[in-house]
């Protein structure tokens, strides 16, 4: 049973979402403030955090950054429709996905399940690209021999791209393959995730070698 | 613009007529006077009368020439004077016209400076008063409009939090309602259904208030047209209800979410208010110097009454006044239209020649950026 931590300050929304998520088969812990949320995340080791951006003490972005600094758990933001600035800032702070409030519980559940989906382990396939070694069986990525801590979404994105080096993937394609969203998904999810992944595996993220941008179309892995 | 120089020509013509009349009068008077004077001279000197024939006066032709010449010179002078005079009279009129035009174009701060104390000055004062009052009225209307818009936006935002809590539990309510008995089950389903409706209404209100506030932005991306249409119909369970004619193979640069909203609102409108079959057709064409994608949703209903057509994109416009509430929020077509406009496109509403209502989206086709390296 997936263990979730819901950080939301409004008591009614918190209660409603807790009922809904429990009903969908999740085990739900809740927190009303950012600090409490960070404590509970540390103590409870949840699989994913559902995080409201508007919190009274620490705002959601700061909570997101602090969670990211110490963990690789999946983070889904709750945002208001059209608050594009919040969405971009939240994705930059490290969120894997976001949903717009008010959210249909089914939609939230589908997103949670998508970010938590177990990554299929390939039988004993170790790929080496330059300094990067991807162990598809152990789901371990190392750079120059040192393991790189990736979130499930980042790992999935890297596995998809590296599976077909030099093949160009459009953003909507990646949204389907990695986020399991249809074409309506927000392409900024892809861009933000690529940025984070570059920061972790590229020598120089501004002149990427592994994750290259194909302007106006999407991304591809290599040539290394 | 016809008649722009009418006043000027009429003034010049007036001056010329006066000049002509004066010239002719001078001419006639001079000639008659001269003839009379000459005859008196001749009567006084009858001794010169030899054969009963009046001698031809050698100077009368010269006098005639002088008279005609001076009349012409006078005419020319009058024309020049007329030009100068009309220019002087017309200059303030022209200025007034130019200022009025700028006022009409929205430059509400523009005013005329009054010089002198003639009728023109009165007109300038009146004009300035009118402009000031117009500016104040427009500012007041604008203020009220902005307030109303902000109010609608604020209310919608405030509704969102309690709605988020209610919407979260609708699924639980729906599933549990099967175990309730009669009335309780119906009540639970009603609350659940209307919560979803309220959610849609609030979402649409927030959407439209973002257009009003000018904060709606395009998130451009490339999508395959067939995918966009198929997903739009699939997620709403409309795939079986809409006949999609073969679509052009095309990747469209647009804001995918907004394209989805447009298609969904056009199709939803056809399904609600039209009659089946609802068909969807798309084609590309070239017009006004650019390539366009047109997407037409057509139903086989009775079409729209002529008086409804100009209002179909109005907010909360109800074609049938007897109907108290439709399934939609009443904002769907207005939102579709705003979304099309944001893409520099349009939506055309019409009654199809073969019957039924048709809504056609025209979207400019932005070229896909070239693939690099």
Residue B80 shares a structural domain with residue B129: no
Instruction: With beta carbons under 8 A apart, name residues in chain A contacting B175.
Output: 23
Is B276 within a domain? yes
Are B71 and B132 contained in the same domain?
no
User: Between chains, do A82 and B210 touch, taking CB under 8 Å as contact?
Assistant: yes
How many Cβ atoms from other residues are within 10 Å of residue A160's Cβ?
17
Whether residues B164 and A184 touch (CB distance < 8 A) is answered with: no
> A interface mutation test: which of B163, B168, B231 has the most A CBs within 10 A?
B168
Instruction: Say if residue B1's pLDDT is above 60.
Output: no
Q: Is residue B371 part of a domain?
A: no
Q: How far is CA B298 from CA A56, B226, B230, B281, B303, in A?
A: 50, 18, 17, 8, 10
End-of-domain residue from the set B194, B216, B238: B216
Across the range A148-172, mean pLDDT stands at 90
- Would an 8 Å CB–CB cutoff place A222 in contact with chain B? no
| Nearest in space to B207 (alpha carbons), one of B361, B331, B359 | B331
A168-199, pLDDT tens digit by residue? 998 888 988 898 876 577 888 899 999 999 99
Q: CATH 1.10.10.10 region(s) of chain A?
A: 126-221
CB-CB neighbors (< 8 A) of A15 in chain B: 165
The reply to whether B141 falls in a domain is: yes
Residue found by looking up tokens 């469209």 in the block? B252
Are B206 and B227 in the same domain? Answer: no
Is B175's CB within 8 Å of A103's CB?
A: no
Contact state of B219 with A188 under an 8 Å Cβ cutoff = yes
Q: Which residues of B touch A182 (CB under 8 A)?
A: 231, 234-235
- Percent of chain B at pLDDT exceeding 90: 27
* pLDDT attached to residue B76: 84
- The whole-angstrom separation of Cα B346 and Cα A202 is 45
The per-residue pLDDT for B210 is 84
| Shortest CA gap B207–chain A (Å) | 8
Smallest Cα distance from A135 to chain B, Å: 29
**Residue bearing the bigger pLDDT, B189 or B64:** B189
pLDDT given for residue A104 in this prediction: 86
Q: For strand B278-287 and strand B290-298, is the pairing parallel, antiparallel, or unpaired?
A: antiparallel
Residues B102 and B121 reside in one and the same domain: no
Strands (E), chain A: 3-7, 27-31, 48-52, 74-80, 97-101, 126-129, 132-135, 140-143, 146-147, 169-170, 211-214, 218-221
A222 is written with which tokens? 């290599």
Q: Can you give the pLDDT at residue B372?
A: 40
Same-domain check for residues B103 and B10: yes
CB proximity B210 to A under 8 Å? yes
Best of B154, B163, B164 to disrupt the A interface by mutation (most A CBs within 10 Å)?
A: B164
Please give the share of chain B, as a percent, with pLDDT higher than 70: 87
> Chain A within 8 Å of B256 (Cβ-Cβ)?
yes
Residue B303 predicted with pLDDT over 50: yes
CATH number of the domain encompassing residue B156: 1.10.287.130
- Residue B144 CA to residue B285 CA, distance in Å, equals 42
> Does B87 share its domain with B124?
no
Chain-chain contact of A184 with B170 (C-beta, under 8 angstroms): no
Position with higher pLDDT, A50 vs B7: A50
HSE-up of A75 (CA within 13 Å, CB side)?
33
Alpha carbons B189 and B177: distance in angstroms, whole number: 7
B285 pairs with which residues across the strands?
B292
Q: For residue B3, is pLDDT > 50?
A: no
Residue B56 or B20, more confident: B20
User: How does pLDDT run across B34-77, given as a tens digit for each residue?
Assistant: 777 766 655 555 445 444 455 555 566 777 777 778 778 877 88
Kindly tell me if the per-residue pLDDT of B254 is higher than 50: yes
Which chain A residues are closer than 8 Å to B228 by Cβ?
183
Name the H helices within B213-331.
225-235, 256-273
> Do both B203 and B101 map to the same domain?
no
Residue A56's CB is within 10 A of a number of other CB atoms, namely 10
Nearest to B196 by CA among B325, B328, B318: B328
Query: B250: closest CA among B218, B291, B278?
Result: B291
Q: Answer whether A85 touches B (CB < 8 Å).
A: no
Partner-chain residue, chosen from B165, B231, B368, that has the shortest CB–CB distance to A12:
B165
Task: Answer yes or no: do B256 and A12 touch at CB < 8 A.
Answer: no
Length of chain B in residues, anyone? Answer: 373
Our CA-based measurement puts residue A28 at a distance from the nearest CA of chain B, in whole angstroms, of 14
Phi, psi of B55 (to 5 degrees): -70, 140
Q: Do B168 and A102 touch (CB under 8 A)?
A: yes
Contact A136, A159 (CB under 8 A): yes
Tens digits of per-residue pLDDT, B100-156?
898 888 888 888 887 776 777 888 888 889 999 999 999 999 898 888 888 877 887
B227 to chain A, any CB pair closer than 8 A? The answer is yes
For residue B274, pLDDT over 70 is answered with: yes
Nearest CA in chain B to A182: B231
How many of the other CB atoms lie within 10 Å of CB of B103?
19
pLDDT-derived band at A158 (thresholds 50, 70, 90) equals very high
Between CA B196 and CA B183 the distance in angstroms is 20
Statement to judge: residues B103 and B123 lie in one domain:
no
Are B340 and B227 found together in one domain? yes
Same domain, B268 and B319: yes
B165, B206, B212: which to substitute to probe chain A, counting the most A Cβ within 10 Å? Answer: B165
Our CA-based measurement puts residue A138 at a distance from the nearest CA of chain B, in whole angstroms, of 33
Whether residue A85 has pLDDT greater than 80: no
Pick the more confident residue, A87 or A210.
Answer: A210
A223 to chain B: nearest residue by CA? Answer: B373
Structure tokens at B230: 């198929």
Q: What is the pLDDT of residues A26-40, one digit of tens each?
A: 999 999 999 999 999
In this structure, is residue B99 part of a structural domain? yes
Residues with Cβ within 8 Å of residue B119, at least 6 apart in sequence: none
| SS3 of residue A125 by DSSP | coil
Q: What is the DSSP letter of B137?
A: H
Kindly state the percentage of chain A with pLDDT values over 70: 94
pLDDT of residue A188: 87
In B, minimum Cα distance to A170 occurs at B222
A13 → closest Cβ in B161, B223, B231: B161
Residues of chain A with CATH 3.40.50.2300: 3-116
Contact A216 B260 (CB under 8 A): no
**pLDDT score of B320:** 62
Residue among B166, B207, B370 minimizing CB distance to A16: B166
User: Alpha-carbon distance B114 to B103, whole Å?
Assistant: 17
* B199-240 pLDDT tens trace: 888 888 888 888 888 888 888 888 889 989 998 998 888 999
pLDDT of residue A199: 92
Region B240-252: what's the mean pLDDT?
A: 91
* Binary contact (A184, B165; C-beta < 8 A): no
Options 3.40.50.1370, 3.40.50.880, 3.40.50.2300, 3.40.50.970; CATH for A3-116 is: 3.40.50.2300
Classify B66 in phi/psi space as left (phi over 0), alpha (psi -120 to 50) or beta.
alpha
Is there a single domain that holds both residue B199 and residue B330? no
Which residues in chain A are contacts of B169 at CB distance < 8 A?
Answer: 16, 19-20, 105
Rounded to 5°, angle at Cα B92 from B86 and B94: 85
Q: Is the pLDDT of residue B2 over 50?
A: no
pLDDT tens digits along B313-326: 998 887 665 545 55
What would the DSSP string read from start to end of B68-132? HHHHHHHHHHHHHHHHHHHHHHHHHHHHHHHHHHHHHTT-TT--PPP-SSSHHHHHHHHHHHHHH
Flag whether B373 is in a domain: no
The class that CATH gives domain A126-221 is: mainly alpha
Q: How far apart are CA B57 and CA A142, in angstroms?
A: 129
What is the average pLDDT score of chain B?
A: 83
Give me the domain span that covers residue B82.
Answer: 6-107
The angle that helices A105-116 and A152-163 make with each other, rounded to 10 degrees, is 60
Query: What's B47's DSSP letter?
Result: G
């Amino acid at each position: 049973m997936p263990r979730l931590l819901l950080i939301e300050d409004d008591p009614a929304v918190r209660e409603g979402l807790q009922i809904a998520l429990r009903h969908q088969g999740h085990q739900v812990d809740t927190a009303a403030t950012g600090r409490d949320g960070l404590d509970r995340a540390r103590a409870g080791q949840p699989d994913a955090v559902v995080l409201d951006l508007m919190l009274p003490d620490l705002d959601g972005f700061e909570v997101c950054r602090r969670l990211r600094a110490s963990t690789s758990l999946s983070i889904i933001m709750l945002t208001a429709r059209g608050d594009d600035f919040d969405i971009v800032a939240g994705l930059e702070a490290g969120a894997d996905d976001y949903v717009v409030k008010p959210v249909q519980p089914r939609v939230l559940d589908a997103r949670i399940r998508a970010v938590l989906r177990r990554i299929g382990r390939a039988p004993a396939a170790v790929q080496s690209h330059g300094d990067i070694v991807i162990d598809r069986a152990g789901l371990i990525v190392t750079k120059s021999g040192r393991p790189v801590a990736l979130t499930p979404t980042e790992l999935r994105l890297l596995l998809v791209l590296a599976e077909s080096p030099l093949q160009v993937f459009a953003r909507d394609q990646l949204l389907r393959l990695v986020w399991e969203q249809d074409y309506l998904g927000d392409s900024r999810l892809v861009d933000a995730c690529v940025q984070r992944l570059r920061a972790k595996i590229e020598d120089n993220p501004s002149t990427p070698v592994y994750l290259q941008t194909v302007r106006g179309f999407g991304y591809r892995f290599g040539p290394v | 613009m016809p008649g722009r120089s009418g006043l000027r020509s009429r003034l010049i013509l007036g001056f010329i007529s006066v000049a002509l009349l004066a010239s002719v009068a001078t001419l006639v008077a001079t000639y008659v006077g001269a003839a009379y004077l000459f005859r008196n001279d001749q009567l006084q000197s009858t001794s010169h009368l030899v054969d009963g024939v009046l001698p031809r006066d050698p100077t009368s032709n010269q006098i005639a020439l002088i008279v005609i010449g001076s009349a012409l010179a006078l005419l020319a002078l009058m024309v020049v004077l007329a030009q100068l005079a009309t220019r002087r009279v017309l200059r303030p009129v022209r200025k007034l016209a130019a200022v009025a035009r700028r006022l009409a174009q929205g430059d509400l701060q523009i005013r005329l400076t009054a010089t002198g104390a003639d009728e023109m000055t009165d007109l300038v004062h009146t004009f300035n008063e009118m402009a000031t009052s117009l500016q104040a009225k427009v500012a007041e209307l604008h203020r009220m409009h902005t307030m109303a818009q902000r109010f609608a936006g604020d209310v919608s935002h405030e509704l969102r939090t309690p709605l988020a809590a209610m919407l979260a539990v609708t699924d639980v309510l729906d599933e549990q309602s099967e175990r309730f008995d009669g009335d309780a089950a119906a009540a639970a389903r009603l609350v659940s259904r209307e919560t979803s409706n309220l959610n849609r209404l609030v979402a649409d209100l927030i959407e439209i208030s973002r257009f009003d506030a000018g904060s709606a932005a395009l998130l451009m991306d490339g999508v395959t047209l067939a995918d966009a249409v198929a997903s739009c119909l699939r997620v709403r369970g409309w795939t079986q209800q809409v006949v999609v004619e073969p679509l052009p193979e095309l990747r469209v640069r647009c804001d995918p979410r907004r394209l989805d909203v447009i298609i969904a609102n056009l199709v939803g409108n056809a399904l609600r208010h039209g009659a089946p079959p609802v068909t969807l057709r798309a084609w590309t064409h070239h017009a006004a110097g650019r390539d366009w994608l047109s997407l037409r949703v057509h139903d086989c209903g009775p079409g729209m009454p002529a008086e409804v057509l100009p209002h179909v994109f109005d907010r909360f416009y109800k074609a049938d006044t007897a109907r108290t509430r439709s399934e939609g929020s009443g904002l769907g077509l207005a939102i579709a239209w705003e979304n099309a406009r944001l893409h520099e496109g349009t939506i055309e509403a019409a009654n199809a020649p073969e019957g039924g209502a048709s809504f056609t989206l025209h979207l400019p086709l932005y070229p896909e950026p070239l693939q690099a390296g």
